[in-house]
Amino acid sequence: MFVVNVEGAIHRNDKWLLIHRSDKEEHAGGGLSLVGGKCEIEGNSSDILERTLKREVFEEVGCEITSIKYVNSSSFVTDSGINVIDIVFLCQHKSEEPYAKSTDEVDGVVWMTTSEIITHTELPIFLKENIKLAEKVLQDNLHV
């Protein structure tokens, strides 16, 4: 079985919202990442990925998102051996200024351009790839 995790590549004014993950976090604590979290067991339901993403974004950084579009999916294994399916969505920032609302999960927020993320020497490759893919989805949607 897998844990299903969703992440939002939240875009506003040519920048992406990243969070400084709390050192308390079991996976990737202390690093920069997209905002997101795990799906909860709901039995029969619809739009669970999108609803989970909206909930997690609001819980972690106190803002609302809109225009949720699929970017990509991947799998990984956490340091403690948990298998995770991770789905990334492109989102537009809708309202409220993001801040570290859930201090158990988030130490701070930062807005960065695509080039700042791609050239950042300490960011993980998968984050850079997710942003490149989200940028492509964003550009493709602008030209439709």
Question: Which pLDDT score, from 0 to 100, does residue 81 have?
Answer: 92
The domain ranges of the chain are 3-142
Instruction: For 3-142, give the CATH class.
Output: alpha beta
Average pLDDT value for the chain: 91
Which pTM value belongs to this model? 0.91
The pLDDT, as a whole number, for residue 29 is 56
Q: 96-100, long-range: CB within 8 Å, 24+ apart, which pairs?
A: 96/62, 96/63, 96/64, 97/62, 97/63, 98/10, 98/17, 98/35, 98/61, 98/62, 98/63, 99/61, 99/62, 100/19, 100/20, 100/61
